[in-house]
Amino acid sequence: MGFIDDLRSTFSIKNILGEDPLHIDDLPLSTVPDYMRKKGGFWYWTGAMISMAFIYQVVTGLILLLYYNPANAYVSTEYFKNSVPYGSLILTTHLYGAYAMIVLVYIHMYRNYFNGAYKKPRELQWVTGVLLLAVTIGVGYFGYSMSGDVLSVDATDVGRGIALSSPVIGPFIESIFFGNGTSTSLFVRMLGWHIILSAVIGGLFGFHFYLAEANGLMPSQKSANYKAPAVEKDLPEHKPWYPYNLVYMIELGAFVFGLIILIPSIITELQLNIVNAVPPLFDPYPQVAPSSPLAAYVPPYPPWFLLFVYKAVDFKMFNAAGALSALAASTVFGVIPLLYFLVVPFIDRSNDLHPLARPFFTGFGILGVVYMAILSLWGALSPGIPIATNDVLAVFIPPFIIVMGGMYMLSKLYKKGSFKPSLNRIIGSFIVFFIFLVIAIFEFATSLGSMFSGITVYNTAFTLIAGSGMTFAALGTMRSSEISNLALLKAKTIKGYEMSKKTAMIISSILVIISMEILWLMLQANPLNLVQEEGFGIGLGILMILIGIEIRLYRMVYLRE
């Protein structure tokens, strides 16, 4: 033992590189209160998750760049997928990584919106965040258009048309973003803008992150007493960034990367084994080439994250704008909401953070979610069918009345002080909300489905009620789970660590054995066989999640978190 200890101390990093060679202790990263690293604390790290997804996208994107050939976009994409080892895995996870990033950006935005995080002192942080949303969708659009399959051609044609129809600057925009009309020029531009905008994300993110660090993480509403400015920066009772936050970040990273690899691998595996298991909108693979005779059978979907604008283009009310109708639709449903979010910190100047204390803005946010969900579903279920203005109003007005009216009433109760639920009521309401949510989603989907085979007063009304109910329930679920978690954590006492150390050892050992088993299986996979390759991806995703679990156990027993 003495010898090994000698060896260890001679060759320890400390002896060779000195104490803290990476200057981790000098990092200017802000420390955070404990509850942000506890159960449910991941709500405070949605930004971190986005940046992890972004890193995944950059790495896989650069690998794809080694193979992409704009002069032969479709062929080079198919070649990468079929003939390059692990090509299918990288291509599908790059696609789904983008989906994950977009979903996370929306979650991050709405979470901060409903929490009033855009208020003092974070106005600029919020503005850069909204710009990041726009750029992220732009990168997604160009990336989606790069495969050269029939859907990408549809998407570029639509984008082209909308760009061209803008008065005066149309032709410039078209030629700047879509090239001179030859296919090579188009794909060179798609590739170029995909990368340029990704670099813009990197730059804006740097600024956004710097502001976030400088402002400090936004504390829970409760500890900020529901009033802006909510600042809780580097208090002495916070645990140091290293090791607590670092280990937590590694754990979170293991889960995020694990899921980004695991989910698309499972979906692709399903798609490979069961014909049409995945609707075309979420197909992990490119569709057929536009020149293929099968191309006519592919429904002309845009990427799902643009479905809401796509449906709006079908609204007859925009026909009044004549040649500008598509532009008008995308302005009303794309640009105006974006502008609203950009300026919201400068309109909502009160210092109230509680969603019920600012019913107007909360209501607008809920309507944003509802409208976007309805439009997207509508676009997915009845693509390209023109919608009369009456029907549009029938779909849009009831949620407005329900949400705004409901918010108004709730906020009155809240302001009077009669809406101050206790812990048990919150937990109870969480369960109620959750059940309600599930039912509402189901009802919404079925009634909306029946609407498309024929609109009746009954199914329209039902859809709207269910849709609003669904959103309301979703928000309620989210809020109540968050509040109840916080309260529960406070109520918990620390005990039983001695016991769980042994348990942690045993569980971790088992997990390591499983990891090795999985690795062994992964090494058997043929990297050119699509099915085995996606199996490899499933294995890799699980491996990473197991690491996340092991780190969680370690944090639990040794960092007492």
63 vs 195, which CB is nearer to another protein?
Answer: 63
CA dist 374 and 380 (Å) reads 10
Give the max Cα distance, the chain. 87
Among residues 158, 427, 504, 530, the one that binds another protein under rule CB under 8 A: 504
Smallest gap from Cβ 213 to another protein, in A, equals 27
Of positions 4, 16, 66, 494, contacts another protein by CB under 8 A: 66
Residue whose CB is less far from another protein, 431 or 519: 519
C-beta closer to another protein: residue 87 or 379: 87
Among 48, 52, 89, 186, binds another protein (CB under 8 A): 89
CB 184 within 8 A of CB 71: yes
Coil/strand/helix, residue 227: strand
Q: What is the smallest separation between the CB atom of 239 and another protein, expressed in angstroms?
A: 17
344 contributes a contact to another protein by CB under 8 A: no
Pick the closer one to another protein by CB: 408 or 558.
558
Please pick, from the candidates 35, 44, 54, 86, the single residue that binds another protein as defined by CB under 8 A. 86
Cα separation, 240 vs 535, whole angstroms:
40
End-to-end CA distance of the chain: 32
- Give whichever of 89 and 395 is closer to another protein, judged by the CB atom: 89
Interface with another protein includes 253 (CB under 8 A)? Answer: no
Binding range to another protein, per CB under 8 A, among 79-87, 115-123, 370-378, 476-484:
79-87
Q: Which range of residues in 32-40, 327-335, 395-403, 503-511 is near another protein by CB under 8 A?
A: 503-511
For 152, phi and psi rounded to 5 degrees?
-65, -35
55 lies in the site for another protein, by CB under 8 A: no
Whichever of 86 and 444 has its CB closer to another protein, that residue is: 86
Contact at 8 Å (CB) between 257 and 52? yes
DSSP conformation class of 315 = B
Q: Which residues between 505 and 544 bind another protein (CB under 8 A)?
A: 505, 508-509, 511-512, 515-516, 518-519, 522-523, 527, 536, 539-540, 543-544
C-alpha–C-alpha distance, residues 248 and 82, integer Å: 38
CB nearer another protein, residue 265 or residue 471 = 265
**Contacts within 8 Å (CB) and 24+ apart, 463-469:** 463/395, 464/394, 464/395, 464/398, 464/399, 464/402, 465/398, 465/402, 466/440, 467/370, 467/373, 467/374, 467/399, 467/440, 468/370, 468/398, 468/399, 468/402, 468/403, 469/436, 469/440, 469/443, 469/444
Q: Does 264 sit near another protein (CB under 8 A)?
A: no
Nearer to another protein by Cβ, of 243 and 290: the residue is 243
Question: Which of 256, 263, 345 shows the shortest CA–CA distance to 47?
Answer: 256
Quick check: 84 binds another protein (CB under 8 A)? Answer: yes
Q: Residue 5, exposed/middle/buried by CB under 10 A (0-12, 13-18, 19+)?
A: exposed
Binding residue for another protein (CB under 8 A) from 87, 116, 179, 284? Answer: 87
d(CA 162, CA 326): 6
Exactly one of 280, 342, 554, 561 binds another protein (CB under 8 A); that residue is 554
Question: CA 182 to CA 378: how far, in whole Å?
Answer: 34
Chain residues in the site for another protein (CB under 8 A): 63, 66, 83-87, 89-90, 501, 504-505, 508-509, 511-512, 515-516, 518-519, 522-523, 527, 536, 539-540, 543-544, 546-547, 550-551, 553-554, 557-558
